[in-house]
Amino acid sequence: MKRAILFFSVILYAGLAMAQPLRLSHVFSDHMVLQRETDVKIWGWGKPGETVRVVGTWPQAAATTLVDAEGNWCLSLPTRVGDWHPLFSEGVNYGPYKMTVRSGGDIITVSDIMLGEVWICAGQSNMEMPLRGYGYQGVEGSTDAILDAMETAGDVRVLRVKTDKARKRVDDIETVWALSTPDVAAETSAVGYLFAKRLTKTLGCPVGIIVNAWGGSRIEPWMTVDEINSAGLNEKQLGEIYAVEEKEDCWPETPELIWNGRMAPLVGYGIRGFLWYQGCSNIDQCDCYNLLQNAMVDYWRRMWGCGNLPFIYTLLAPYSHGDADGRWRPFFVENQMKTAEEIPNAWYVSTETLGDKETIHPAKKKEVADMMVLRALQNVYGMNLGINIEVPRLQSVEWQEDGSARLRLTEINSNLGSVSARQVVGFELAGEDRVFHPAEAEVQRDGETVIVRCAEVPHPVAVRYSWRNWMGATLAKVSGIPVPPLRSDDWDY
């Protein structure tokens, strides 16, 4: 009897597989943006053994494949529509196009397709924060941005991922692309939307953003357990990660949950790179966050199989975190910055003058988006911007006879300034007793050096800038690039 049931089950399963109609992944829908100048993957499901033919109305866009025994199919389509140059896009037809998928008697048509630039916007609540803002927490300039949304509604397209977490990897998500009309823009990630709008206006081509962010999420759910185990953490650090998982309510700490439910279904979709805004929930890992971030980026790149895809990420903004004088945030930021030194095609943007003491969700999202665009334009698209967008770091300190400290920073080119003119807020000095005191600081007229002094510290041996959770720090380049936390010492507090 058991053998008969088993035989019947196999036959039933096979019959269901054979009966499966032609289907596309939901990420391929009307209004989608396909990454230009490459070969994009198109995939879906169908009847095993059937031929699938995909044809796009742009040049040379045709390919054929067979559905495998499990009902899966995948093929590649070229998206080359002419000689591309970031400064000269006139005359290039980016769409709209159509794509037809045929298998047996089944036909699927996808309309209003644009070829352009595609970026995945991931992270936690500061990436998720919509253009309209949160309750009691607004986004500066949001009303103007929403009212102006129609001018680029057809060129900026949005795919918002809102599916649940998952213990096992899922293959598809129920979401569709949308034009960025005012109502859509208002509900879209402010950083992602403002990045896309600026990028499309500069490059002159459509931009698609896949917004996949989850407020409060730690970094561990964005990758697999195997990747965490191979990230280079010590036993103590790993133990702290997995101890969290044993709690009764372990979301959003549990590894793999977001990867399985929200990232894995996107794997293979043609993209230019990743935008990442996360860190608040991992602020306790100032000794190993970079290892986790490096492992996550490496994993994502391997899964996409497109080499070292660009990774642009945001440093944690100043915020009191329950104790404005606490120092754990700058230590965490210092650790975040290591990723850009340790893996290729990774760049950070500093938010040191953009934070808010009272809210973990600062309102200045346009500035964050603009710095991400600057980084993309220079390092990804190879544009000569005419300005130095590199983030300054401490180069040297000279201890003067009058008890002051003379600081030189890298990447200045005579344009160091402050958001409060020459007087700079955020510096501290310490003597041999290692006790830091607030210090006066001033940018010199050469625009390259800072003089720091403090009457309480006549013989300083260490200088720090913005080395507290919140100090209202103001040092920046005149181009608006904030100077991140810096220090001359290597003390562990």
Residue-wise pLDDT for 61-94, tens only, equals 999 999 999 999 999 999 998 655 555 566 789 9
Chain region(s) in the chain for CATH 3.40.50.1110: 122-380
Most confident segment among 17-26, 159-168, 203-212 = 203-212
What was the pLDDT predicted at 334? 98
What are the structure tokens assigned to 119, written together?
A: 């970026």
Is 413 a residue whose pLDDT tops 90? no
Average pLDDT across the chain, whole number = 92
Determine what percent of the chain is predicted with pLDDT higher than 70: 91
Residue 128 has pLDDT above 50, yes or no: yes
Q: What average pLDDT score do residues 280-308 get?
A: 97
User: What confidence score (pLDDT) does residue 86 get?
Assistant: 54
Please check the confidence at residue 10 and state whether its pLDDT lies above 60.
no
**pLDDT-derived band of residue 242, with 50, 70 and 90 as boundaries?**
confident
**pLDDT greater than 50 at residue 32:** yes
- Answer whether residue 106 shows pLDDT above 70: yes
From-to residues of CATH 2.60.40.10 in the chain: 17-117
CATH fold, domain 17-117, is Immunoglobulin-like (2.60.40)
Residue 420, pLDDT score: 60
Range with top average pLDDT, 18-27, 245-254, 347-356: 347-356
pLDDT at 351 over 80: yes
Write the CA distances from 324 to 112, 243, 357, integer angstroms: 50, 29, 7
**What integer is the mean pLDDT of 187-213?**
98
**pLDDT of 220 strictly over 50:** yes
Q: Percent of the chain scored above 90 by pLDDT?
A: 85
Q: How would residue 9 be classed by pLDDT, with cut points 50, 70 and 90?
A: very low
Per-residue model confidence (pLDDT) at position 83: 57
Rounded Cα distance, 410 and 390, in Å: 9
Q: pLDDT at residue 180 above 50?
A: yes
Report residue 240 as tokens: 């702290």
Has residue 2 got a pLDDT over 70? no
Higher pLDDT, residue 6 or 123: 123
Q: What is the mean pLDDT of residues 386-415?
A: 93
Q: For residue 243, what pLDDT is reported?
A: 81
Res 12: pLDDT? 40
pLDDT > 60? residue 192: yes
Q: Which fold has domain 122-380?
A: Rossmann fold (3.40.50)
pLDDT digits (tens, 9 = 90+) for 445-484: 888 899 999 999 999 999 999 999 999 999 999 889 999 9
Q: State the pLDDT confidence band at 6, using cuts at 50, 70 and 90.
A: very low
